[in-house]
Structure 1
Amino acid sequence: MTPVSTPGPDQHRLLHGLTFDQLHAIRTIVATGSFREASKILCLTQPAISQRVRQIERMLGTPIFERHSGVGVTLTTTGEKILEFCERSMESLDALTADLEAALAPPNDSELRVMAPSDLIQYVLLPMLAPFHARHPHVSARVRQSASRAEIVSMLTSGKVDLAFDRSPTHPSLTTLARMNEHLYLVAPAGHELVKIPPKDRPAAIGNYPFAAYAPGMRTWNLAQRWAAKVGATIVPAIETRNVTVMKQAVRQYGALSIVPAISVSQEIRDGSMVAVEITDMPLTRTTAIAARPGEERTPAIHSFVEELAATYAQRSDSATAGIRWLAPPVEPAAS
């Protein structure tokens, strides 16, 4: 082993000029056991690697590697101390990189996963996604259609979605952030025979016409059946579906009656192709819970999404009683 000489004061000061490139070279040489293999990994020539090592050795006044002809290199006692310093320095550099990435990361969550029934996606969520993204470009909202309440509960509790629209009251394992009240109207094509008879006689006449209804077991089907029993109407569905668009097509193309969310037919009512039938105890109110996992309801991304949803829905709903009301205490959005 080459004798270790003691560096003078000037040499100590030269150590302040060590670079990360030099330290990284030392670590790579130690890891590979030779200058030649280190040069391949670092994409440098072997003379360039040797020069970096010699610069450090000149600063120290002593070798850091013992060269063994044909069998590579090993660290000297001084080299072992330098390697320890290399490891600490690189760990500090990694920590600094992580801190900077965290500091420069955009505020709020980067992704928000939302689950909702198809009609809410089409008529409530789609209109608000563009303005939400414009105001919160750092949050990527992903929307998935729900098939059943069991799926909603499973996806939320397992953490596969962050926010879901469920019938109210929601499952006891979930937290209800807000409730959305929707109005539902009995609609008919313009000029339908039902609108030509006196309003008091219309409930009894409903059974005389084809009806497009929600599929049995759905909450809106149950709501419509309770209404029919209360006012003395008979609903005999010619079409049963889970899709509001199909129900609207049945009204337009088949001349059917239907009970649908007001927001889904607002354009057709404005342009006169459909009418909201004036009849006892209409409109109906359907309440939807906007739910999250307990403890997740105060995240800034969820807060921002529900706030945007409430604002957009208020602009498009048919009255002040149809809207979104917070139940969980809202939070202030994170400072940008």
Structure 2
Amino acid sequence: MRHSQLRAFHHVAALGGFSRAAEAMFLTQPAISEQVRKLEQAHDVLLFYRERKRVRLTETGEHLFLLTKQLFEVEQRIADYMSETRAAIEGELRIVADSAHHVVNLLTQFRQRYPNVTVSLRSGNTEEILHELRSYNAEIGVIGDAPSTPDVEMLDLGATPITAFAAIGLLVNPAAGLTLAEAAEFPLILREAGSKTRASLEEEAAKQGITLKPAIVAEGREAVREMVASGAGIGFVSLAEFGHDPRLVQIPLNGVDIAMRETIVHLRQRREVRVIRAFMEFARADHPAEV
């Protein structure tokens, strides 16, 4: 197995095709194809399904791709270590968050300090976030509760209660609040399975002998917000994330004590990746009590 073969495979997998890999590596497409073919032939495996002009990873290819992500990240860390220790930090910081609200200010400060770092931010629920971290498709996650798993390091951002909310005019007196039993009589707009907010609500409802049956299941917090704003029913969110929307009104939940924690997480084995280490230093400065 040669390093050049692994690099060729990695670029094809990362970029989704032999032509793109060839352009990125400043090589010809036949040269890239030959490197991958030799890798497959030497180990008697199929790494890609070739479908006309498209390629798709096989199961073996998926596993190898995860390993090459780790390999070339360690290679970059070695290069960083061997270069000037105080060289400017650059690269990409990919963040997947269940709510961007908790890291917006932090990201602004981070970008001011490290302008050469490109930051991407996308949304996901807890299960999706942990999957993306473990697949090396993200460096940082922001999730509802700290997962009980040894492969991630965590920083607690604090907790806020869960509140209900609805479109203005749906309730006569929203400030009086609702019990879970009363809320369950309305059409409920709930997050997808895997959402920590939904799981916490359903757990509390079960304790009270109540079934929360969704009228609509919406993918993501913004989708829930838009459905609720249309007057379709009642939604739920942590108080810190409710924000200000003139279409919506907050509804306190009576007889319910549910708090949603927010936690920054990253893979423990990637703690020395420079961009992760730099971001976590900023985060700990704002939230010194680490879990």
Q: Structure 1 length normalisation: TM-score?
A: 0.50
1:245 aligns with 2:238: no
Aligned mates of 1:124, 1:182 — CA distance in 2: 11
1:286 aligns with 2:260: yes
Check the 8 A contact 1:180/1:325 in 2, yes or no: no
Equivalent position SS for 1:137: coil
1:174-189 correspondence to structure 2 within 5 Å: 174-183=151-160, 184-189=162-167
Task: State the partner residue of 1:116.
Answer: 96
Aligned mates of 2:133, 2:183 — CA distance in 1: 40
Aligned mates of 1:218, 1:260 — CA distance in 2: 11
Gapped regions of structure 2 (runs ≥ 5): 1-78
Check the 8 A contact 2:170/2:231 in 1, yes or no: no
1:82-161 correspondence to structure 2 within 5 Å: 102-103=83-84, 106-107=87-88, 109-117=89-97, 119-121=98-100, 123-126=101-104, 128-146=106-124, 149=127, 152-153=129-130, 155-157=132-134, 159-161=136-138
Equivalent position SS for 1:263: helix
Name which one, 1 or 2, has greater alpha-carbon Rg: 1
Percent identical among aligned pairs is 17
Task: State the partner residue of 1:66.
Answer: none
Aligned mates of 1:248, 1:224 — CA distance in 2: 17
Task: Report Cα offsets for 1:270-329 as digits up to 9, x if no partner.
Answer: x5x433223324563223442223253355633442455578xx8xxxxxxxxx56427x
Task: State the partner residue of 2:67.
Answer: none
Aligned mates of 2:175, 2:279 — CA distance in 1: 45
Equivalent position SS for 1:254: coil
1:218 aligns with 2:195: yes
From the superposition, tell whether residues 305 and 254 of structure 1 become closer, same or farther in structure 2 (CA, over 3 Å): same
From the superposition, tell whether residues 155 and 264 of structure 1 become closer, same or farther in structure 2 (CA, over 3 Å): closer
Check the 8 A contact 1:185/1:277 in 2, yes or no: yes
What one-letter code is carried by the residue in structure 2 that aligns with 1:243?
Answer: G
1:25-44 correspondence to structure 2 within 5 Å: none
Check the 8 A contact 1:194/1:202 in 2, yes or no: no
**Residue 115 of structure 1: how far off its partner (Å):** 3.5
**Residue 209 of structure 1: how far off its partner (Å):** 1.5
Task: State the partner residue of 1:327.
Answer: 290
Aligned mates of 2:143, 2:182 — CA distance in 1: 33
From the superposition, tell whether residues 153 and 245 of structure 1 become closer, same or farther in structure 2 (CA, over 3 Å): closer
Q: Structure 2 length normalisation: TM-score?
A: 0.57
1:297 aligns with 2:278: no
The structure with more helix, counted as a fraction of residues = 1
From the superposition, tell whether residues 155 and 209 of structure 1 become closer, same or farther in structure 2 (CA, over 3 Å): closer
Equivalent position SS for 1:267: coil
